[in-house]
DNA sequence: GATAATTTGTTTGATCCCCAAACAATCTCC
DNA sequence: GGAGATTGTTTGGGGATCAAACAAATTATC
């Protein structure tokens, strides 16, 4: 792919382009970092021959740690609509990683759980995520990572409180 | 909305739910912060009666600061495929904010530019983004914001370099 | 200078995420 | 027991994303 300046004739962009205020905007920087991290996650899993999105990983962890979770509770924990969750669970269930059991106490709800195969897969996924985490913070000290996480939590709280 | 414990009968989640390792994962915290910031952006603009996404704002800034930009150059700057850009530009153009001019020097490319109305709108949008930025970092000092942006840039670089 | 290769913008097709509204089944509350 | 709320699902409507194919136009090659 043409990575060289390529002598862009007119709308002069051989020269670096001007991003104006964008690099000083937290929202902009956050979005770009998130996008790069997402791409890294995808490539980490693709390289390992596994297919999983960050959202699916979070979902599986939540289901494993909270056996019998209902779809409503899970949707709330994930911050998405319950109707959005349905096709995601369908896919995970079709892959044999997760099951919707009948709740013995409430006929409306499903009791979610990982299958044995799902549990084993999650263990593997967790190792991959560990490697991914190391990569995306390879130039940060552990103190910096702690600081970053702390500041991000504050931003999240600030953003939500309006 | 039912914020009270609500006596969740069985799949016991009146108690806080267990997020396992998730809160220690940078990717997870980043994703949640980004999502909250995005929601705040949307509500800021909705409240002001304006309709714009963070991506559209970034795009408009780039076009204003780099007059005559081609779609390819813009797509590359945004990190998206050129085919993804087409419907986004269509919408902005339909709103009268932006035009695709014929490049005088290269018949293949379009020279993008904001319309006068688009320029005025961007000025207003920029003020809204400023207010939004203040809100999402209201509990952070300016030094903390600088630190956060610096660390996020490092993460982005780390994530990309693999 | 003529032909081949590349670049650009667009269309089409495929996933995916998201929400809102409506619906049947089920539960809770009075 | 009946009214009202909750749960999971379906349907409908936006978008975002990429990949592949194409025509038009520009470069590169000979």
The pLDDT tens digits for B29-79 are 999 999 999 999 999 999 999 999 999 999 999 999 999 999 999 999 999
With contact defined as beta carbons under 8 Å apart, do A147 and B144 qualify?
no
The pLDDT confidence band at residue A16, using thresholds 50, 70 and 90, is confident
Nearest to B159 among A25, A37, A129 (CB): A37
Between A15-19, A155-159, B72-76, B137-141, the lowest mean confidence (pLDDT) is in A15-19
CB–CB contact A11 B109 (8 Å): yes
- Element spanning B96, H or E: none
CA distances to B25, B26, B147 from A150, rounded to whole Å, are: 12, 10, 12
**Mean per-residue pLDDT of chain B:** 89
**Å between B74 CA and C1 C1'?**
35
Residue A7, pLDDT above cutoff 90:
no
A64: which chain B residues are within 8 Å (Cβ-Cβ)?
20
Residue A124, pLDDT above cutoff 50:
yes
Q: What is the reported pLDDT for B4?
A: 29
Residue of A nearest to B43 (CA): A162
* Nearest of A26, A4, A48, A33 to residue A136 by alpha carbon: A33
> What does the pLDDT average to over A41-68?
95
> What does the pLDDT average to over A28-39?
95
Q: Helix (H, G, I), strand (E, B), or coil: what is residue A148?
A: helix
> What does the pLDDT average to over B101-118?
94
CB–CB contact B13 A69 (8 Å): yes
> What does the pLDDT average to over A109-115?
96
> What does the pLDDT average to over A54-60?
97
Within 80-99 of A, beta carbons closer than 8 Å to B belong to none
CATH second-level architecture of B55-160? Orthogonal Bundle (1.10)
Q: Helix (H, G, I), strand (E, B), or coil: what is residue A114?
A: strand
Specify the nucleotide whose C1' lies closest to residue A100 (CA). D8
With contact defined as beta carbons under 8 Å apart, do A97 and A121 qualify?
yes
Q: Which two tokens stand for residue B151?
A: 């660390």
Residue A11, pLDDT above cutoff 70:
no
Residue of B nearest to A162 (CA): B40
Q: What is the reported pLDDT for A15?
A: 63
Q: Of A54-63, B1-10, B102-111, which has the strongest mean pLDDT?
A: A54-63
Within 4-43 of A, beta carbons closer than 8 Å to B belong to 8-13, 17-41, 43
The pLDDT tens digits for B128-145 are 999 999 999 999 999 999
Q: What is the reported pLDDT for B161?
A: 81
CB–CB contact B156 A33 (8 Å): yes
> What does the pLDDT average to over B75-95?
96
- Element spanning B101, H or E: strand B98-102
Q: Which two tokens stand for residue A18?
A: 């001007």
| Interface mutation vs chain A, best among B141, B152, B154, B160, most A CBs within 10 Å | B152
Q: What is the reported pLDDT for B11?
A: 38
Enumerate the domain spans of chain A.
33-160
Q: Which two tokens stand for residue A107?
A: 């006929």
> What does the pLDDT average to over A51-68?
96
CATH second-level architecture of A33-160? Orthogonal Bundle (1.10)
Q: Which two tokens stand for residue A38?
A: 């997402």
């Amino acid at each position: 792919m043409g990575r060289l300046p390529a002598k862009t004739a007119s709308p002069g962009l051989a020269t670096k382009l001007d991003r104006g205020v964008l690099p000083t905007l937290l929202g902009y920087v956050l979005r770009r970092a998130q996008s790069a991290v997402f791409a890294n996650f995808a490539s980490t899993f693709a390289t390992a021959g596994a297919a999983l999105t960050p959202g699916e990983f979070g979902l599986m962890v939540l289901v494993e740690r909270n056996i019998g979770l209902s779809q409503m509770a899970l949707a709330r924990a994930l911050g998405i609509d319950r109707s959005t969750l349905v096709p995601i669970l369908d896919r995970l269930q079709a892959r044999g990683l997760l099951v919707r059991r009948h709740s013995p106490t409430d006929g409306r709800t499903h009791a979610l759980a990982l299958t044995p195969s799902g549990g084993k897969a999650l263990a593997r996924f967790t190792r991959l995520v560990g490697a991914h985490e190391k990569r995306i913070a390879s130039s940060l000290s552990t103190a910096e990572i702690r600081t970053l996480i702390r500041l991000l939590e504050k931003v999240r709280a600030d953003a939500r409180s309006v």
